[in-house]
Amino acid sequence: MTLPSRNIGPFEVSAVSLGCMNLSHAYGGYPTEEEAVRLLNRALDLGVTMLDTAALYGDGENEKLVGRAVMHRRSEFTLASKCVLGMFDGKRGLDGRPEAIAATLEGALQRLGTDHIDLYYLHRLDANVPIEESVGALVRAKDAGKIGAIGISEMSAATLRRAHAVHPIAAIQNEYSPAVRNVEMGVLAACRELGTAMVAFSPVVRGLLAGAVRSADYGPGDIRRAMPRFVEPQLSENLKLVDAFDRIAAEAGLTPAQLAIGWVIAQDPTVIALPGTKNIAHLEEDVATLTKPIPQDAIEVVTALFPYNAMKGPRYAALMQSQVDTETLPDEELA
Task: Return the beta strands (E) in 124-260 as ranges.
Answer: 147-153, 171-175, 197-201
Residue 29 confidence (pLDDT):
93
**Could you tell me which CATH number the domain at 5-322 has?**
3.20.20.100
In the set 27, 30, 57, 218, the catalytic residue is 57
Task: Return the beta strands (E) in the chain as ranges.
Answer: 5-8, 11-14, 18-19, 50-52, 78-83, 85-88, 91-94, 117-122, 147-153, 171-175, 197-201, 271-274
Residue 1 confidence (pLDDT):
77
State pLDDT tens for residues 280-316: 999 999 999 999 999 999 999 999 999 998 999 999 9
Active site residue 30: no
State pLDDT tens for residues 201-224: 999 999 999 999 999 999 999 999
Query: d(Cα 272, Cα 257) in Å, to the nearest integer?
Result: 15
Peptide bond into 233 cis (omega under 30): yes
State mean pLDDT over 44-70: 98
Query: d(Cα 101, Cα 138) in Å, to the nearest integer?
Result: 8
Query: d(Cα 166, Cα 101) in Å, to the nearest integer?
Result: 16
- 227 in helix, strand or coil? coil
